[in-house]
Amino acid sequence: MNTLDAIKARHSTRGFSDKQIPDADLEKILFAGGQAAVGGADFKSLKLYAVQDPELLKAIDESSAKMRPGSHPLYGAPTLVVLASKESILKNIEFTNAGCVIQNMMVAAADLGIDSIYLWMSMYGINNDPELGKKLGFPEGFTCVGTMALGYEAKEFPKLKADEQRIEVTYIK
């Protein structure tokens, strides 16, 4: 798939099957995350965790659901990639870095035929329960700045994406 096709193919998946993604693909996706632009090249301020332990996924799902009782914010995904950050050398750049890292990974996943979704809810779920940070192995000073679920769509869901520009553009020549 060429890059523009992968960008177009990426869409948010809100219902995953149990089928796990291949380890080799997960490695490629995480590599794509590490290839992202990061402010000040401060790569040491970031850490990636690939979670496939069903018990830990359940605990993150439950903690995240506290904001919306009865929901499953992880949508049953068999893999959750968690991005943690400590304070960067550039003030307030952590969430911008997260956007770059996670978008790279979602596009790489689309290229490999793997479905994904950027999840803000589970970031709150992780940060609101210090035990989860410990279970994930965050070093002192690190908090979650973004998460991304990976897997295969359980069924066809209506897509929000249309083959059109979704953000208003102004050309100034």
Ligand X SMILES: Cc1cc2nc3c(=O)[nH]c(=O)nc-3n(C[C@H](O)[C@H](O)[C@H](O)COP(=O)(O)O)c2cc1C
Does residue 120 belong to the site contacting ligand X (CB under 6 A)?
yes
CA atoms within 13 A on the CB side of 157: 16
Does residue 160 belong to the site contacting ligand X (CB under 6 A)?
yes
Does residue 66 belong to the site contacting ligand X (CB under 6 A)?
no
Does residue 128 belong to the site contacting ligand X (CB under 6 A)?
no
The answer to whether 57 touches 80, Cβ cutoff 8 Å, is yes
Shortest Cβ 11–ligand X spacing (Å): 4
d(CA 25, CA 75): 20
Does residue 118 belong to the site contacting ligand X (CB under 6 A)?
yes
Q: State which residue, 125 or 133, has the beta carbon closest to ligand X.
A: 125
Does residue 68 belong to the site contacting ligand X (CB under 6 A)?
no
Alpha helices by DSSP H, the chain: 3-9, 23-34, 54-65, 94-111, 121-127, 130-136
Does residue 119 belong to the site contacting ligand X (CB under 6 A)?
yes
Report the sign of the C-alpha dihedral through residues 31, 5, 151, 105, in that order. Answer: positive
Q: Which residues bind ligand X (CB under 6 A)?
A: 11-12, 14, 117-121, 160-161
